[in-house]
Amino acid sequence: GRSFSVEEYSDETYRAVPSSLGGSPQDAAVWNTLADQQVVNIGDVGAALHLRDALSTLSNQQEPLVRSARDLRARDFRSGDYIVLGGPFANPWAHLLEQEPFNFQFKTLPGPSMILVNRNPAPGEQPIYSADDEGHGYARVALVPNLTKTGQALMIAGMSMESTEAAVDFCLSPDSMKLLSALHASGTNNIPPFEALLRTKKEGGTGVRAELIAVRPAKPN
């Protein structure tokens, strides 16, 4: 009935059987099984491998490592460059890196369903973005410094698995150059911190495309 904090995730206290289960041996057994297993959806795996393979083709680039969020600790984000898949509800490390609140915030609703709240809408923008019955959804892409400002973290999160897939494809496509234009960046070596809202489309259970809707500079942490 609640989300775990970054601290609980980092020190693994979330693994303890909650008292709300009422001491049921059956419920405790299910809980312990989930706590001991690596649980991940196939869309995130595919997106991570897609990113790894694309980055592996770059010259002078260290071979990217794909790691489960559960195997990381807060100190890992003090150095190096990262790509973090999933929003704060799916991947608690997103909370750690979002030291200043983003303009585009994920919010869960009963159902369960998810929306993206636009905290400060610009002219022509909506205050709330939600999925529709035609397969459209939304995703947020953000570039922020690591915890010591010695590297960067690219955060890619959609309101669904398909939205995340489409956002990853956008980042690896020529369409991503529209971000550089919107940020007035002269090249990929001097991209300032930003957050971007994407409108995604899914077909046949997979994300097929994404388009840039809005861009904001990200506040320095």
| Burial annotation 29-54 (CB, 10 A radius, 16+ → b, else e) | eebeeeeeeeeeeebbebbbeebeee
- 17-37 pLDDT tens trace: 888 887 788 988 998 888 888
- 49-59 pLDDT tens trace: 999 999 888 76
* Nearest alpha carbon to residue 157 among 147, 171, 145: 171
- 127-171 pLDDT tens trace: 999 999 899 999 999 999 999 999 999 999 999 889 999 999 999
- 179-217 pLDDT tens trace: 888 888 877 778 899 999 999 998 887 778 899 999 998
Mean pLDDT, rounded, for 86-98: 85
Question: Which pLDDT belongs to residue 112?
Answer: 66
Question: Which pLDDT belongs to residue 59?
Answer: 65
136 in the Ramachandran plot: left (φ > 0), alpha (ψ -120 to 50) or beta? beta
Question: Which pLDDT belongs to residue 221?
Answer: 55
Quickly list DSSP for the chain: --PPPHHHHHHTGGGSPPGGGTT-HHHHHHHHHHHHS----HHHHHHHHHHHHHHHTSTT-PPP----GGG--GGGGGSS-EEEES-TTT-THHHHH--S--SEEEEEETTTEEEEEESSPPTT--SEEE--TTSEEEEEEEEEE-TTSSSEEEEEEESSHHHHHHHHHHHTSGGGHHHHHHHT-SSTTSPPPEEEEEEEEEETTEEEEEEEEEEEEPPP-
Residue 1 banded pLDDT, cuts 50, 70, 90: low
Mean pLDDT, rounded, for 116-122: 95
Mean pLDDT, rounded, for 75-98: 89
Calpha distance 172→156 (Å, rounded)? 12
With pLDDT > 70 as the criterion, what percentage of the chain qualifies?
A: 96
Question: Which pLDDT belongs to residue 143?
Answer: 95
Between these two residues, 104 and 184, which has the higher pLDDT value?
104
Q: Evaluate whether 104 touches 212 at the Cβ level (below 8 Å).
A: no
* Nearest alpha carbon to residue 88 among 157, 153, 141, 11: 157
* Number of C-beta neighbours around residue 21 at 10 A: 13
